Structure formats: structure tokens, C-alpha cells
Amino acid sequence: MDSESLNHKAARKEKTAMGKHCNSQKRISRFFNIIFSVIKYTALVFLTLGLAGTAFVVSYLMGLDEWKEFDPHQIDEMQQTLLIFDKDGVETAALYNKENRVYIPIGEIPKHVKNAFIAIEDARFYEHGGVDIIRILGSLIEDLKSGSLKQGASTISQQLVKNTSLTGVKTISRKLQEAVMAFKLEQVYSKDQILEMYLNYIYFGNGAYGIEAAAKTYFGVSAKSLSLAQAALLAGVIKGPSHYAPHINLQKSIERRNLVLSAMREQGMISEREEKEAKEEAVVLAEKSEAQYGYFTDMVLAEAENILNLDGEELLSSGCRIYTTLDQELQKQVEAIYDERTNFPDNAADGELCQSALCILDSKTSEIRAIIGGRKYETRRGINRATDIKRQPGSAIKPVIVYAPALEKLGYTPATMVLDEKGNFNGYVPKNFSENYKGWVTLREAVAQSLNLPAVRVFETLGVETGKLYASQVGIPFDEKDQGLTLALGGFTTGVSPLCLANSFTPFANGGYYSMTSCISKIENGRGEVIYERPDTRISVLSPDTAYLMTSMMQSAVESGTAKRVGVEGVPIAAKTGTAGAGEDNRDAWTVAYNPDYTMCCWMGFDSTDTSHCLPSQVTGGTYPAELLSQVFSAIYRNKKAPDFVRPKDIVAVRIDIRSLKDGGPPMLAGAFTPDEQTILEYFPQKSAPSEYTTYWSVPSPPDDLSVTLDENGLPVVSFTPKDSYVVYRIMRKDLADRTVEMAGEYSGASLKVNVTDYSAEYGRSYEYYVVPVHPDIKIGGEQLCGPPSQGVRIRTLKEEDYLP
């Protein structure tokens, strides 16, 4: 090997040795750098912790300005969403002022929901005292490395005070304040209380504050019903709702959810299997629901504001839970009926809508079950025609102001006779709607056919003030000018609302009791504590007997009167119609109908009436309003049996002879011979029921003063006094020689004394005369009914030559 090769080899060895030496030096240098960094950062951490600890103690002892103003109890006063429920406790509306928040107690939040938030936001929540030192160390190291305050180490307690009491600016000063406040918070509240406040306060995006509102907003369920996957998704959202909310970026939301699930599994909160299944669960977001039952909700808000003495904004932020009297199924049914255009009269020529309102009450309690304030709901807290308008009720008011007090105070019955005839009442000249008059009619017929003149005559006998007194007791308002007989036909200065008129009929439906209407049964505050319960306002205003008799007469209106379009087969209904106007330009059409379950009122008309905005003459209370209520009753009892009215024990049913009622006579009982078509079934209080039987439909009586004489021509003259003008008296003659019997004549009619000459008698014969009374309208076996004959009177005629001149 030459010297040059040796030199190269030696050089390579030297170079290799030098390389190894350099690498060794680099490793040593790197090691010392790491040691130095650890010492440096440890020193900085301890220095920072020392300074922070000193600042914390000083802040706690001396007090910061923000600390002096901080009150942990203020967190309890967070804005909460107002919840409205139906009569069965089903939520129908969630309304809020600025923040949609529904408070839910920690005890009702499932464990997996709580764990999802703890796992991702504060794993050592139940171990630290408000400030997590271990987490702060890691966060400080990262912040010192980056030279900024990017890493978050806030505990749940710190987040709560930050979101409720501090600004969002990240500064050392604010961090110190946050720590002090969190420490103080944990001195006042337990861990579960803090977690409860936190989960009810934090913002989840999409207008939802708190876990309950978020669960309903995103998934349409209560927080009680959240699945593991849903809970993890919501826990992931709060880091940045604008980035992770599922309605904004579903993919990022799912990624964040999966991160939460992994954290839960790593911390032993769920199993690998639960993690896998939750990550595979599809995200199904709830569709945004539109506000429903607008008129009912507005009515509830108005009543609640009055009950709680709050304004609108205060109520919407109160978190109260209002339990209403709403029947959702019934409300949906009537809304569907109101969506049908053919259920209403035509609009005005200029296109203005013919309006309508409907209210349905529980007949026993006067709780409002459903309400329609107009054919279209357009404006929140706008006009509700069922409660706000006041219109003249027409004949619909008759049962309330005339007939019920007449039965109660005057002892009238459905069989009481009243005169349907034109009259002048001190300058007031009412007329019937049809301008036809029937003479004497029963009270039942007057009600069923809605005859005006009988109502005015009864009202005059009753007295205006007596009628008004009862009407006032059942909620009918009066103006000072309402003083005359026109009130009997609905001639009010101002008028009544549909709700007011409907409630005035409830005593007829429930046996004589009146209660104030209400749409709220109870109210709870945000913590579930009852702060209001509907009081029992029921008072007795009518006897059960009067209530039943009024109902019976209004059932006749449905069976054969002006309200017959209300009728539904198999459903007992009582109703009264009313029309206000001049016939050719009717202003208001009404029907009030009820059964033992429901009392309802329908009004139709225009908001402002004039010659261009009025109902056609053929549109009355007995047309469109009656037909609409018939549809409501049909819908209610489509799949269930309707109840019947129960007759009080003191009310008796008797068959009345129709003929006894003619010419205003008192009612008499039908007899054994009264034909069915000549009787009616009528109801009376037992104490005033008729006890005398009809004298017409009975066996006729013979005269008891029969006499026979001979006239100047020697012919027999039969004389007697008829007992009844309608009886036919057959004069019978018996020949005493051959025993033959013949009718010598007959007579009918009123007379003080009857003298009938027997021109067919023969001279020189001996006869016996007697009278047989015959009923002209009673037949038995095809033969007219005869009464017993009178006592016979014998006479002998003289010979013919004795009378020759």
C-alpha cells in the first residue's frame, strides 16, 4: 500500500473520530437546553403562581371593584322563557323576550348529559375548589410558549361567573377577578347547584340558552330525553356556537361531538361500545315549529299579566309556566272548520272579509277550551273578536234577560200562554222577524220560533230591572242608557262579546251555576313553585228546575225552531239564535248552543258595518253560525257518545191536551180518550203541574133537565139545556107500543135552553124521549163515542081529530 493510501485512510479515521465527538457534544448541548427550559418554565410557572396567589389573596382580602359588585345570587335571576301548557300539561308555546331559556332542575338532568359537559369542559369539576391549579399549570406553559393568553383553563365555576358578571376581554386582571369570583361562588353554592346554574345559563346558539331550550331547539325533546350522542353534540357546541352549532356546520358539530364522546370514554364515563354506538348515531335536527293557537295564546298572556301584575316584557322573561284550559284537539278541529271558505257568507263587494268569532267553554267550569278571534290570525296581541268586540246580541239574549227570570220569578212554565200579536208599548212598536203573528202561543213555542212580541210582553210583565238584575249576575254588561223594553230583543247601547254571551248560557247547561271565565288554571315560577291557582268563583244563580226548563225549550229550537241547523243526530243540544239588523242589512248573526259538556257561541258580521258592509237578508243566526256549530258538535262526538241533559227530580213530565191551550186557557191533562196527535209532552215543576184533566176529550154527559111537552098542534117538544157546546145531542124516541127506537133529531152548539119539535111523531101514540150525548171527535172501533143517555120522559099524543079546526 503506498503512502498516499495510508494518508487517506488515516484522514478518514480522524474525520470519523471528530464526527463522533461533535455528535456527542450536540447531544450534551441538547440535554442541557431541555434541562434549562424545564428550569426556566418551572421557575416562571412558580413565579407566576406565586404572583397569582399573592394577587388572589390580596384581591380576596382587600377587594376588587368588580368583586364588590358581584353577588352570586344574581345568577339565580337569569332571564327565562315563558312556557305555556294545555289542560293536559302538554307544552303549546315557549315565548321569551331576549333569551330563550327554560330552567330545568339538576335532578331532572340525566347523568350522561351532565357527564358530557364535565368531560369536555372541566374533568376535575368535583375535585377542585373553583380554580383548577393542575389545569392552570398546563395552560400557563402553553401560554408562555406562545407569548399570549390563548389557552383556556377556566373551570365550570369560572365560566359561570365570566358569562354572568365579567367582560369577554382576556387579561390577567380579568383572570384574577374570575378566579376570586369562582372561589367565592363555591363558598355559597354546592357543586350540583353550580352545575345546575351553568347548564341552565350557557348559550348554545340558534337563540337557545340553557340545556333545556337547546334540547328542544335542536332535537325537539326535553333535556330529560336526550340520547348520549345528542348530549355530546350539545356539550361540544358551547365552545363556539357560531362554529359548532349543527344548523350552521353539521360536519364540524359531529367532529366536536365525537371528541366529547372520546373524552367521556377516556375518563371512564362510558364504555367503548357506548362510544362507538353514539358516534354512529345519525344527527336528526328538529324542524322549526311555527307559533300556533295565536288567539288563545294572546288571551293567556293578557290574563297572566293581569294576575301577576307584570308588563309584557317582564312576563316573557319570568320563566313562568302557565297551565291553561286549552283543549288542543278541539282547538285544531275548530281551526280546521274556520279554514273552510264555504262556512262563511260572501265577502263585501270591496273584498273585505266577513268576520267571525267562536268561543267554546266547559259547561261546568266556564274554562275556555278553544277560541277563534277572527278568520285569520295576523298580528300578535291584535284584536280578538271573541273577547274584545261588543255587538248587539239580537234574540240570542232572550233566554237570559227575559225567559229565565220569568220562570224563576213569575212562576212561568213552558206551557204558559203568551200573546203573539202586534202592540204598542208606550211608543215602542216591535215586530216579529217574519212579520207573521200567531195569536196565543206557549212559552215553548215563543222561544223555539224566536217570536218577538211574546218576549216583549213577558219582559214588560217581569220588569226591566228584574231582567237586568239576573243578566248582570251572569256577566252581561249594561250601559246607563239601557233602560227600555228594547233590551228584550237585544237592543243594547254597546252590546256583548261572544265570550260574555256564551258564559251567560252556562247556568242553563250545568244546573244553575255561574263561574267567571278563565283560560289559566295555575301558574308556576321558573322553579316549579305554584304562585297562582284559579279560584272557585262558582255561584248559584238559577234553580235546577229553571235551568232544565230553559234547556228543554231551547232543545225545541233545535228540533223544530230557528236553531234546527245546529242539530246533530244522536247529540242532545239546546240552542238559541239571534240576528241584529233591519232584515235587509243584518249587522250581526249569532248562535249560542250547548250540551252538558260544552257551551259555545258563534258570531258573524263585519268589523265596521254600513250599507256596503252588512250581511245579506238571508243570513241570520239560524244559517251560517248554526251550521258552523253543528260541525263543531259533530267533530267532538264523532267517535264518542254525547251526554244527555239530566232532569231534576222535582220536574215532572205530563201529557197536555193541546185543545186546552187554545185561546190562552190553562193547560189541562190529556184524558184517556185524547188522541195522541192532540197531546204534547210538557215539563213542569211538580208543585205547579196541572192536576185537572181535559173536559173535551172525555165521555160526554147527558142533560139533566130533559122535559117533553105538546105544542099547539099536538106535536111533542123536547126541551133541555146542553152541558157542552161541542157535544152533539141526539134526541131519541121510543115507541112504547112496538118498542122501536128512532132518532127524532139532534142538536149541537151553545144555548141556554134547547126546544126541539118532533115533527115525525104520530097522533095518538105513546112515546118515551131521551137524549144521547155524542162526542164528535172520539171514535172507538170506528164508532163515535156516546155518553150515557138521559133519563127518559114519556108522553102520549092526542088523536088527530082532537086538533082539527
Are 449 and 563 in contact by the 8 Å Cβ rule? The answer is no
Residue in the structure block whose three cell numbers are 308556576: 524
CA distance 676 to 595: 29
Catalytic-residue membership of 701? no
Are 361 and 368 in contact by the 8 Å Cβ rule? The answer is yes
Helical packing angle, 328-338 and 624-636, nearest 10°: 140
CA distance 709 to 312: 102
Helical packing angle, 452-462 and 464-473, nearest 10°: 100
Are 792 and 708 in contact by the 8 Å Cβ rule? The answer is no
Are 448 and 557 in contact by the 8 Å Cβ rule? The answer is yes
**Cell for 786?**
156516546
Count how many residues are written for the chain.
Answer: 805
**φ/ψ of residue 567, rounded to 5:** -55, 140
CA distance 202 to 199: 6
Give ∠ CA 713-715-716 in degrees, rounded to 5. Answer: 145
Catalytic-residue membership of 121? yes
- The catalytic position among 121, 186, 275, 408 is 121
**What single letter denotes the amino acid at residue 201?**
Y
- What are the residues facing 513 on neighbouring strands? 540
Q: Name the residue among 445, 435, 423 with its Cα closest to residue 582.
A: 435
Please compute, for residue 307, the number of CA atoms within 13 A of its CA located in the half-sphere on the CB side: 21
Burial class (CB in 10 A: 0-12, 13-18, 19+), 357: buried
Q: Name the residue among 398, 337, 350 with its Cα closest to residue 608.
A: 350
Are 589 and 603 in contact by the 8 Å Cβ rule? The answer is yes
CA distance 354 to 498: 16
**Cell for 44?**
416562571
CA distance 363 to 369: 10
CA distance 689 to 676: 20
Burial class (CB in 10 A: 0-12, 13-18, 19+), 67: middle
**Cell for 283?**
344527527
Q: Taking the CA atoms of 128, 130, 134 and 139 in sequence, report the sign of the dihedral they define.
A: positive
DSSP string computed for 686-753: GGGS--SBPSSSSPPPPPS--EEEE-TTS-EEEEE--S-TT-EEEEEEEETTT--EEEEEEEES--S-
Are 598 and 369 in contact by the 8 Å Cβ rule? The answer is yes
**What single letter denotes the amino acid at residue 536?**
D
Are 161 and 185 in contact by the 8 Å Cβ rule? The answer is yes
Which of 765-794 are b and which e, b meaning 16 or more Cβ less than 10 Å from the residue's Cβ?
Answer: eebbbbbbbbbeebeeeeeebbbeebeebe
Are 499 and 516 in contact by the 8 Å Cβ rule? The answer is no
Are 466 and 405 in contact by the 8 Å Cβ rule? The answer is yes
Q: Which residues contact 279 (CB under 8 A, 6 or more apart)?
A: 229, 257, 258, 261
Beta strand 417-420 pairing with 741-748:
unpaired
Residue in the structure block whose three cell numbers are 293581569: 306
Are 561 and 449 in contact by the 8 Å Cβ rule? The answer is yes
**φ/ψ of residue 430, rounded to 5:** -75, 165
- The catalytic position among 253, 366, 395, 630 is 395
Annotated active-site positions, please?
121, 395
